[in-house]
Copies of this chain bind each other. A is one copy, B any other.
Amino acid sequence: MNQELAIQTIQRKSLHLELVECLQRLIIGGDLAPGSKVPEKELCAQFGVSRTPLREALKVLASDGLIKLEPNRGAWVTLVTVSEVEEVFPVLGALEALSGELACKSISDDEITGVRALHEQMLHAYESRDLDSYFSINQKIHRAILLAARNDTLATSCQALSLRMQRARYLANMTEGRWHYAVQEHEKIMEYLADRNGKMLAETLLAHMDAKRLSVVQWLETQDRTADHT
């Protein structure tokens, strides 16, 4: 009926949802540092909103584990602890493995071409040791596989856990050795995806996550040790 009129259904999303996304960005970008207090008043002023929608957003973020609400004491950005990392990565591994398996069943040739393009870009980023680009493209690859799995529930769950692991830039202990190894893992991921070999892709993604877990844990332990000596 209104096919040509409905060029775009301007779905003005609710204020609290926009705030959820803004705050997520602030948290994973490190503008709101792990362990720090969420400055409610300041954020209201900054975004030009009242406390009501901001507080709604905080409840949602708390249920996602990005912040912690202390009764009568306010909201705090959660810390990335070793025990949390040891918890989250296995779950993320299982979910990514599933996403690989499902993706192999549904991914189109065009999508594989797209992932390959990203993969090449990532190799360039690696060669020029551009960590920021590397991270960003890396994420896009994982996201592309996730989308190819055609399972929104899976995507949402993965996304939520992934965010929790991205709370701080420094989370990756990208030594030259680890980085090289990660790139090799991605070569395999690319290969198995192109072959639509679900079993092997799942296995590789699981191993990839476990290696990442180890790398992050080691990094955190170095950090802790450093902190102790102050």
Binding site for B on A (CB under 8 A): 11-14, 16, 20, 52, 55-57, 59-60, 63-65, 69, 71, 84, 87-88, 90-91, 94-95, 97-98, 102, 151-154, 156-157, 161
Given the known inter-chain contacts A94-B95, A97-B94, please indicate yes or no for A153 contacting B84, CB distance below 8 A.
Answer: yes
A74 to chain B minimum Cβ distance, whole angstroms, is 12
A62 — nearest CB in chain B belongs to which residue? B60
User: Is there contact, CB below 8 Å, between A90 and B102?
Assistant: yes
Given the known inter-chain contacts A56-B56, A84-B153, please indicate yes or no for A90 contacting B98, CB distance below 8 A.
Answer: yes
A106 to chain B minimum Cβ distance, whole angstroms, is 12
User: Is there contact, CB below 8 Å, between A69 and B14?
Assistant: yes
Q: Which residues from B are CB-within-8-Å of A161? A: 153, 157
Q: Which residues from B are CB-within-8-Å of A153? A: 65, 84, 87-88, 91, 161
A88 — nearest CB in chain B belongs to which residue? B153
Known: A60-B60, A88-B153, A95-B95. 18 other contacts (CB 8 A): A14-B69, A14-B71, A20-B63, A52-B52, A55-B56, A56-B56, A56-B59, A57-B59, A87-B151, A87-B154, A90-B98, A90-B102, A90-B154, A91-B95, A91-B153, A91-B154, A94-B97, A94-B98
Q: In the bound complex, how far is the Cα of B57 from the Cα of A211, in angstroms?
A: 38
User: Is there contact, CB below 8 Å, between B56 and A91?
Assistant: no
A4 to chain B minimum Cβ distance, whole angstroms, is 24
What are 19 A-B residue pairs whose CB atoms fall within 8 Å in the complex?
A14-B71, A52-B52, A56-B59, A60-B60, A65-B156, A87-B151, A87-B153, A90-B98, A90-B102, A90-B151, A90-B154, A91-B151, A94-B94, A94-B95, A94-B97, A94-B98, A95-B95, A153-B161, A157-B161
A93 — nearest CB in chain B belongs to which residue? B98
Among A69, A102, A154, A157, residue most surrounded by chain B Cβ atoms (within 10 Å): A157
